[in-house]
Amino acid sequence: MDYILSPSILSADFANLGADVKEAVKAGAKWVHIDVMDGMFVPNISLGLPVIKSLRKETEALFDVHLMIEEPGRYIDDFAEAGADLITLHAEATKHLHRAIQQVKAKGLKVGVALNPATPLSALDYVLEELDMVLIMTVNPGYGGQSYIAKMDDKIKELRAIINEKGLDIDIEVDGGISAKNVAHVKECGANVFVAGSAVFNGDIVSSAKDILEAMEA
């Protein structure tokens, strides 16, 4: 199993975004986590297609695009064209989850489904085999800098057990409150892709990213 750091650019300096991303990738991050918020599914508004398209020119890292938007199926083609490599949809944000998953797959991209902290794993019962990744939100989505919700340990463990029992090759990504202090513990619970925003970008980016990577590999 690969263990991957996916720094969230939500916490980067938007005036220096390309350079910040390059610093994180130079430190060893393989993915770049791009949070897209519409002000409807979550209260915040973040960034959109032009920013992703511009950033695509700056790095060959995998673009891990997390759509926190209502009815994301409306924009799958646009995000694919902008440079997404993996698109994650929220189970809570679409009336037709299976259809939206198939839209992403039809573009030749990897697909994930995200679950909010209060959303049960049963939301995945009829789509799990279609997925490349499940994103367990370990904070309530919408803002950076929140604290990890400890109860999500059990959710991650349960999901990893289900994936293993079914013999599936599916990544478990965690997003929210991840840092060098707790990443090893969350890894032990069964996650293998770690989103970190403020823990990477609020300070020396290379040093912070390397600290998390070293803790992941311990």
What strands lie across the sheet with 31-37, from one edge to the other?
A: 4-7, 193-196, 171-175, 133-137, 110-115, 86-90, 62-68, 31-37
At 33 the three-state DSSP class reads: strand
Residue 210 CB contacts under 8 Å (≥ 6 apart), including other chains: 27, 28
49-56 and 17-27 helices, crossing angle to 10°: 50
* Known catalytic membership, residue 169: no
**Distance from C-alpha of 27 to C-alpha of 17, rounded to nearest angstrom:** 16
At 11 the three-state DSSP class reads: helix
At 194 the three-state DSSP class reads: strand
* Known catalytic membership, residue 35: yes
Annotated catalytic residue, options 20, 35, 153, 171 = 35
CB-based burial of residue 120 (10 Å sphere; 0-12 exposed, 13-18 middle, 19+ buried)? Answer: exposed
Contact 116, 96 (CB under 8 A): no
Annotated catalytic residue, options 153, 171, 175, 211 = 175
State the catalytic residues. 35, 175
